[in-house]
Structure 1
């Protein structure tokens, strides 16, 4: 009985690869997928970097190109890292919900 409830809790909280990739595709440049997958610090870094890029857009095009390049590379690398991030987050959720820690 308790196992069913714990399994249901895990199913409610586990993270979806589809949602993670949709966030990455449409809002990845601000780190939305990282917030979703429980990585708020790197999400904040991406958000801050994107904010800086936006600010620099208004000031200088040369630096903007370099910063957008950094954001683009990070965004692309995250496409490869999302399955591992989701698995790690789901393991953390499972450990917490199933009482393994």
Structure 2
């Protein structure tokens, strides 16, 4: 079931809780782009979006390989990330939505038992 269908099953109180939690936890497009622009070579934008493994790989790649090759591989990776960033942000925010919905539904089912 997609997030829209799951949200439609929430009552008003649950939807209010969902909106408050989502506003606190969602990833900002502006922050992601600023991290990409200023600290992209260190993979900080990937860490921000929960992509820890690829963030570590990019960081290691920049430190170990790019110094010898004048940062060309890192620049290529960052250009590709520029096109992938909107999708990564959307995916992370949908993941956050689903987690919040599942938490709310879990709380409700445990309260009614």
Task: Give the shorter-chain TM-score range.
Answer: 0.7 to 0.9
What is the deviation of 1:9? 0.4
Q: Which residue of 2 aligns with 1:79?
A: 82
Q: Which has the larger radius of gyration?
A: 2
What is the deviation of 1:3? 2.0
Aligned positions, number = 91
Q: 1:38 aligns with which of 50, 71, 79?
A: 50
Q: Which runs of 4+ in 1 moved over 3 A?
A: none
Larger mean CA deviation between 3-12 and 24-33 belongs to 3-12
User: 1: CA distance between counterparts of 2:15 and 2:101?
Assistant: 8
Relative to the length of structure 1, the TM-score reads 0.83
What is the deviation of 1:11? 1.0
Q: Which residue of 2 aligns with 1:60?
A: none
User: 2: CA distance between counterparts of 1:39 and 1:23?
Assistant: 14
Relative to the length of structure 2, the TM-score reads 0.75
Q: 1:4 and 2:16 equivalent?
A: yes
1:11-26 correspondence runs (5 A): 11-26=23-38
What is the deviation of 1:53? 3.9
Task: Choose between structure 1 and 2 for higher RCO, CA contacts under 8 A separated by at least 6 residues.
Answer: 1
User: 1: CA distance between counterparts of 2:74 and 2:96?
Assistant: 29
What is the deviation of 1:70? 0.8
Stretches of structure 1 that go unaligned for 5 or more consecutive residues are 58-62
